[in-house]
Amino acid sequence: MAESLQQIKKRIKTANNIAQISKAMEMIAASKIKKAQSAVEKNRPYAQRVKTVVQKLLTKHGDELAEHVFFKLKSVTDKKLVYIISPDKGLCGGLLANLFLEFVSKVSKHDYVVTIGKKAQNFCIKNGFNVIASFNMGTTFPKYFEFTHVLKFIETYYAQKKICGVEVVYTNFKNRMVQQPITTVLAPVEIDKGFVDKGIHIFEPSPKSVFESLMPYYFEVEFYDMIMNAYASEQAARMQAMNNSKENAKDISIFLTTVYNKSRQEKITNEILDLANGLIS
């Protein structure tokens, strides 16, 4: 019984240590998500403004841009260039499983894949996807200039007519409780049928020149918005997962403490009975 009690005490200590570690990781994720959520919300009007300008060009001057490579590509292939954005580390609940499920349902083995994040890299290589490049996501808040070079494959592969489109698979941040894996078409740029054109705009020197100079910047703004959403989703999922881990560890500690107390009381009772039997005899 003494050995059993010692084992239970060790398990209680282990559960308490796990609860403390989980609490610390939860607090770290909470501090990161506050900054990430603020950045995502502040960036959305800016990204939306860039989208508005592009849609104005497409809706008003679509005929002039009909042959532009990023608007309508005449390609002989059905291959796509797909970016997948994931965390570098785990411990973020079901986020990775849901992200990879979305990825597998939208991407074929012959598509060109660029991975952002070590988890995506490991998954794609392990499952035989055509990975042409890999980049780390990082553990700190992503900066704009850190990911602009990642988009160089778009222009290169479009110019060589190796692809028919560009898609990005990532986790969209809705709030701290909801993060949804989605696939967004980055190119070719499509006309939004629900777009309402307000105001009068004059594009100089020409709509085509403005569109050509704006597209690389458009891709950067759109992609960075997705990167920030993925980062915020990672922190939110990790905070929630660590909170669940902390609560489960506490429940286990309480249960084991109860078992320990009962076993200890049972041992004391048996010792008293043995002593009483000895005195009687």
Query: What are 214-266's pLDDT values in tens digits?
Result: 787 888 888 998 998 999 899 889 998 888 888 898 999 899 888 888 888 88
User: pTM to 2 decimals?
Assistant: 0.81
| CATH of span 42-240 | 3.40.1380.10
Q: Which of 108, 95, 104 is nearest to 137 (CA)?
A: 95
The residues near 121 (Cβ < 8 Å, ≥ 6 apart) are 115, 131, 134
* 5/63: higher pLDDT: 5
Q: What are the backbone angles phi and psi of residue 257, rounded to the nearest 5°?
A: -65, -40
Residue 137: both structure tokens together: 């996501």
Binned at pLDDT 50, 70 and 90, residue 1 comes out as very low
Helix (H) or strand (E) holding 246: helix 207-280
Residue 54 has pLDDT above 50, yes or no: yes
Q: Where are the domains of the chain?
A: 2-21+241-280, 42-240
pLDDT at 102 over 90: yes
Highest mean pLDDT among 67-71, 109-113, 138-142, 159-163: 109-113
Whether 161 has a pLDDT exceeding 90, the answer reads no
CB-CB contact of 22 with 242 (8 Å): yes
Choice between 71 and 186, residue whose per-residue pLDDT is larger: 186
> CB 219: neighbour CB atoms within 10 A?
19
| Distance, CA of 32 to CA of 28 (rounded, Å) | 6
